Amino acid sequence: MAKRNEKGVSLIELLAGMAIFSILVVVLTGIFVGSIRNQVNVLESQKLIGEIRYVLENVSRVGMLARTDTGGTCLSESEKSYEFIGDEFSFIDDRERCNVYSVDDGVIYRKLIEDRGSGAEIERRLTSPEVSVERFDVEIIDGGEQEKVMLLIEMKTEGVSAHAQTTFSKRTLR
């Protein structure tokens, strides 16, 4: 009987190679899909933190320049600088406009009310439609001449939630 010198791959070797390749593809696909999901969560978190930061900076930047409401034109009590009733945080800014920050259907709005006879109102949305405001709390700490405001905001998007807090006080510019 003559010995045959066969070159090539047997069926068993081919099946074993395909099985190893298939296992590698499944493992690498799982890793890839997991990293994509992680990246989506990171991007959502960054967007959410950016939204929270924007609102906190807007409220605190304008709120630091609040004036005392001597005539009761903006707040329910005169001789106060800030007021938080229900979901509305109000104060008079450095241009003598009444600022009202409020939450409606998960959205934070800033309303500016002119007090110079016209009574004109401008309302602006501060949060995007993709974000839902879950909590908007303001605590006004009476410190005599220097009232402090603690602001807490909690927001969420699909699968991601975040909250942040800041404290500011009225600045007296002379």
Contact between 68 and 81 (Cβ < 8 Å): yes
Asked whether the whole model's pTM tops 0.75, one would answer: yes
9 band by pLDDT with thresholds 50, 70 and 90: confident
Q: What is the pLDDT of residue 159?
A: 81
Report whether pLDDT(173) > 70: no
Average pLDDT over residues 18-35: 95
Distance CA 126, CA 108 (A): 6
Q: How far does Cα 3 stand from its chain's mean position? A: 77
Contact between 99 and 108 (Cβ < 8 Å): no
Q: What is the pLDDT of residue 114?
A: 83
Distance CA 125, CA 104 (A): 10
- Dump pLDDT digits (tens) for 50-96: 999 999 999 999 999 998 888 878 888 878 889 999 889 999 988 88
Q: How far does Cα 80 stand from its chain's mean position? A: 29
What is the four-CA torsion angle of 99, 104, 47, 122, rounded to 10 degrees? -40
Which residues on neighbouring strands pair with residue 80, listed in sequence order? 69
Measured over the CA atoms of residue 61, residue 64, residue 70 and residue 72, the dihedral's sign is positive
List the single range of 1-5, 117-121, 144-148, 154-158 with lowest mean pLDDT. Answer: 1-5
List the single range of 34-38, 126-130, 170-174 with lowest mean pLDDT. Answer: 170-174
- Dump pLDDT digits (tens) for 97-152: 999 999 999 999 999 998 655 678 899 999 999 899 999 999 998 866 678 999 99
